[in-house]
Amino acid sequence: MKRLERNAPCWCGSGKKYKVCHAAFDDRLIMFSDRLIPVPDHDIIKTPKDVEGMKRSAVINMAVLDYVSEHIRAGISTAEIDDWVVKITKEMGGHCAPLGYEGYPRSVCTSVNDVVCHGIPDEKEILKDGDIINVDVSTYFEGYFSDSSRMFMIGEVSPEARSLVENVKKCVEIGIENVKPWTTLGDMASKINEFATSCGYEIVREIGGHGIGLEFHEDPFVSYVTRPGEEMLMVPGLCFTIEPMVNAGKHDIYTDRDNGWTVRTKDGSLSAQWEVQLVVTEDGCELICW
């Protein structure tokens, strides 16, 4: 890490001198780096201005999910959900971040039952009683990205499905409780994994959370199967998602060869995911989008 001259303007854009703004912060980062703990670069640490921008984007993202929550039911197609997302996002002045991202063909991800993530909305996919579905919404607004997802249970679902949905939400709540500045992502992840494992579930290894804000996907990659003391240091201003993808069976997955996107459980077991976006603070974290 390159330190600034003490009287230079701080790298965070506050307009203050470095010595009274982030010099002590950088000293602490260097201390952890010397212990071979990965630390975030300055360019992924968010300023108060950035946080406010992400919150404005999140207003749209959460309004979209609220609309879905009010209208989702058996008998509709997942393509209809995509239509709702496009309509509400445009009405509020935002843009659907998934559309065209690395070639993704729709504006939202709708992942039903054994689909882990990246389910593509389809006119022929009709929701029915007993289904569980993850609706993953991502919004771009005035230069900032927001991202969150929720699970929905359609009609009467099996006890197994209900427990999975509820326990995976608990996984995210445990993650939020364990986001603490100057500890590592592995400290948080190990608590999530411990609870998921105690329920008899397994967490997907290959896909996880991510940094977000000025870009749709930024560093760090957020795994939920790492151990305490591993992975990047969480520091005030670091923004990322918590979104463990939890399978009722084994963690193994595969990607649909026909569309190149849809990820499913290899053993056909149910999978569930809730996603929140947060920023690390001086004493924990602040939720930005949920």
Helix axes 185-198, 159-177, angle to 10 degrees: 160
pLDDT at 49: 96
Cα angle, residue 65 at apex, residues 188 and 220 outer, rounded to 5°: 30
pLDDT at 3: 82
Domains and CATH numbers, the chain: 44-289 (3.90.230.10)
Blockwise average pLDDT, block size 10, the chain, 290 residues: 89 95 96 96 96 98 98 98 98 98 98 98 98 98 98 98 98 98 98 98 98 98 98 98 98 97 98 98 98
pLDDT at 107: 98
User: What whole-number distance in Å separates Cα of residue 11 and Cα of residue 1?
Assistant: 12
